[in-house]
Amino acid sequence: MAEPAPLHSDLSGAPAGGTATFHRTSDGIRVRIATWSGGTRGTALILPGRTEYIEKYAQVIAHLIGMGFSVACIDWRGQGLSTRINDTTELGHVKHFWEYQHDVASLLSAVADMPRPLHMFAHSMGGAIGLRALIEGLPAASASFSAPMWGLHLPALQGFFAPFVLRTLRIFGQGENFAPGARGAAHVALRGYKGNPLTTDPEQYRRMQMLIEEIPDLALGPPSVGWLAAAFDEMDALFDTDLPDLPILAGCGTGDTVVSYSAVVSQLERMRRATFVNVEGAKHELWMERPELRDPFWDAISRHIANVEATL
């Protein structure tokens, strides 16, 4: 049974008419889901990245509503206002990425009575979760990915040794500890704009900081050994399984230092109906970049969905 949940629309600038509720997943975790009804073009499912939360996507939600969609967005377990691991905002942790599929199931239940078709919009970690959900049969007509986490941007040697080290630490019971070198990492609210890995738009970056400053409970610190080991497990597995046959678009910025640009391209090459959008000069947050970078990406998505609709 869903319970009312906070939704800080006045602070975030989210469109009026949104409703947030807490839902219990099949494994007992409480996740927050927000919905905006009224769009008749279908329902957009927003799958955020690691550390993210519904309020951060207020402008994305407004854009999708403007396109004619109803919208649903989720706080994944361990972040936002969903159940936190060890009741802390300092550590992001899961044992297995499959846990997030319970959250996806709750999201689908929450939109059971909302308009069809479904269209997925997934960012970063949400891109790994979303691709897995599509593989498992999530009934979307299309999927649009922003900088999907199908690989991490790491130096060659670190990329080779890190999975082995993390999996070894996990075996020896260190899964809920901070990942090596991560303990001192600051929340976005404590970092300066200069050199940030997320966006080249100072206004967007300041907005991210403001939301965390005003609602500290939305913050999330660095990942655990277990989370990173599970992420490497899932990224490897996604390259070793049959992929869904539906229209997929994915964009990545040439300045992205979070996910692997080459992994995104390589994964798309395995798909029969895939489109790649190269966003020259953009960092990780394509939907929260400067208008001259963000708007062409949205234009590509609009064409992508229109092409899908023409075949329905």
- Domain boundaries in the chain? 3-311
CA angle, residues 205, 177, 74, in degrees to nearest 5: 45
Amino acid at site 300: A
For residue 188, is pLDDT > 80? no
Find, among 185, 166, 196, 160, the residue nearest to 288 by Cα.
Answer: 196
Look at residue 187 in the predicted model and tell me its pLDDT. 60
Report the alpha-carbon distance of residue 187 to residue 106 in Å, rounded. Answer: 28
pLDDT in tens, 105-157: 999 999 999 999 999 999 999 999 999 999 999 999 999 999 999 999 998 88
pLDDT beyond 90 at 91:
no
Cβ neighbours of 23 (radius 10 Å): 21
Q: What is the pLDDT of residues 191-244, one digit of tens each?
A: 789 999 999 999 999 999 999 999 999 999 899 999 999 999 999 999 999 999
Q: How many CB atoms lie within 10 A of CB 255?
A: 17
Q: Is this prediction's pTM over 0.85? A: yes
DSSP H or E segment with residue 206: helix 202-214
Mean of per-residue pLDDT scores for the chain: 95
* pLDDT recorded at residue 6: 97
Q: What would be the CATH architecture of the domain defined by 3-311? A: 3-Layer(aba) Sandwich (3.40)
Non-local (6+) Cβ contacts of 147 within 8 A are 123, 124, 127, 251, 252, 253, 256, 258, 259, 264, 284, 285, 286
Nearest CA to 257 out of 181, 191, 199 is that of 199
Find the angle CA(202)-CA(204)-CA(206) to the nearest 5 degrees: 65
Res 89 pLDDT > 80: no
Which pLDDT tens digit goes with each residue over 210-220? 999 999 999 99
CA 288/CA 163 separation, integer angstroms: 30
User: What share of the chain in percent tops pLDDT 90?
Assistant: 89
